[in-house]
Amino acid sequence: MGEGESYTALSVERIVREAGISRATFYVYFEDKSDLLRALAEDFIERLLGAAATWWTLPADATKPQLREAMRAIFEAYLPHKVVMAAVVEVASYDTRVSDVFGALLERTISEVAGHIATGQANGYVTPGIDPQRTAAWLTWMAERGLYQLVAPATPEAIERLLDGITDITWNTLYAGTR
């Protein structure tokens, strides 16, 4: 896929041949191609959420540069696996098993961000009056689509500017009013 092929067009035969394993070995571990993708996606999701935890465990007095570093950790977890994510988005449009995994990732992320907002509001370091759940949902969808559409194809210089952009939006929306 790194060479521009679509996951849908890849055959199991081709995958096992390129990987130097037998067809039988493949089917010992995976039901089919979607099952393989689901396993890859689950692994990827754990890494991504692990990196994102840097953000929602930031201390109450965190600075904008610290937020930027937390965002960088998310980018760095995402970029090496962007091909898996592209395959997930592609296959999720027609395979519910894969779209369910993807949906679960978004739900977990939204609930973590919502928890961070609610805790921050209770402790005075997140903008009061904004709806934790729905604000978290808008920001999470922004991150999901932006990583896929903007960050994945960007050059290193463009990635730095995109980091500035997502940091500015998150900082202004959540923290700036309280500092």
- Kindly tell me which of 14 and 134 has the beta carbon lying closer to another protein: 134
Residue with tokens 């808008």: 138
- Kindly tell me which of 45 and 174 has the beta carbon lying closer to another protein: 174
- Catalog residues that contact another protein under the rule CB under 8 A: 6, 8, 89-90, 93-94, 106, 127, 129-131, 134-135, 137-139, 141-142, 144-146, 149-150, 161-162, 164-166, 168-169, 172-174, 176-177
Alpha carbon 142 to its chain centroid, in Å, reads: 10
Smallest gap from Cβ 62 to another protein, in A, equals 17
Torsion angle of C-alpha atoms 103, 104, 106, 110, degrees rounded to 10: 140
Smallest gap from Cβ 3 to another protein, in A, equals 17
Cβ atoms of 173 and 127 closer than 8 Å: yes
Residue 72 and residue 56: Cα distance in Å, rounded? 13
Smallest gap from Cβ 94 to another protein, in A, equals 6
